[in-house]
Amino acid sequence: MPFDQIRGVNTHQELWAIEQIKRSELIRYWMDRGVRFSSAQTVHMDLNITIGSGTFIGSSVHLLSGTRIGTECTIHPFTIIDNSSIGDAATVHPHSVIRNATIGAHSNVGPFAHIQEESTIGNNCSIGNFVETKRVSIGDNTKAKHLSYLGDAQIGSNVNIGAGTITCNYDGTKKHITHIKDNVFI
């Protein structure tokens, strides 16, 4: 049995050494399956994730527990993806945070997007700079390119959300669902 598999951990330095060994094993595992890394030594990934072949992972990306990334995706630097699903051929631009959400195939997210819990982004969508979503469902081919908050909403397909749009649906007592139908331009 190799020494690295039976090491004891009694100090922070020993813990750091073990983490580096395990991180190297994980990186090699995913490289063997067709995943490319920009700066592999800077990537943090938990054990229970999946990454499809042909995917590129940028530097300082964090892939946290339960994350599933499809094939041919691009995950740009300084992105955090936590317990989320990224569809095939999707691109997540730098400094985006995706938590407990689903991103459809061929969609673009970010930079600086914040996709929060219970958000479902359809296929071929564009969720751009400084767009935040929370408990929202967005249909296919919809765009929200910049500076918007979309929360507690159901947004249809082929919708264009203009800059500065905010779904305001709290009446002081409870939140209501905002409905935006297909083919709407806001």
What mean pLDDT do residues 74-101 have?
A: 98
**Is the pLDDT reported for residue 5 higher than 80?**
no
pLDDT digits (tens, 9 = 90+) for 49-72: 999 999 999 999 999 999 999 999
pLDDT digits (tens, 9 = 90+) for 16-48: 888 888 889 999 999 999 999 999 999 999 999
Q: Which amino acid is at 32?
A: D
- The closest alpha carbon to 69, from 56, 54, 87, 57, belongs to 87
- How many whole angstroms separate alpha carbon 81 and alpha carbon 100? 8
Residue-wise DSSP of 41-95: GG-EE-SS-EE-TT-EE-TT-EEETT-EE-TT-EE-TT-EEES-EE-TT-EE-TT
End-to-end CA distance of the chain: 63
- How many whole angstroms separate alpha carbon 144 and alpha carbon 128? 6
Lowest mean pLDDT segment, chosen from 37-41, 71-75, 85-89: 37-41
Q: Per the residue annotation, which of 106, 146, 176, 179 is the catalytic one?
A: 146
Burial-class residue 160 by CB neighbours within 10 Å (0-12, 13-18, 19+). Answer: middle
pTM: 0.92
**DSSP code, position 162:** P
What is the average pLDDT score of the chain? 94
What mean pLDDT do residues 130-137 have?
A: 97
Q: Is 146 a catalytic residue?
A: yes
Q: Quote the percentage of the chain above a pLDDT of 70.
A: 97
H or E element in which residue 19 lies: helix 12-32
**Is the pLDDT reported for residue 122 higher than 80?**
yes
Burial-class residue 64 by CB neighbours within 10 Å (0-12, 13-18, 19+). Answer: middle
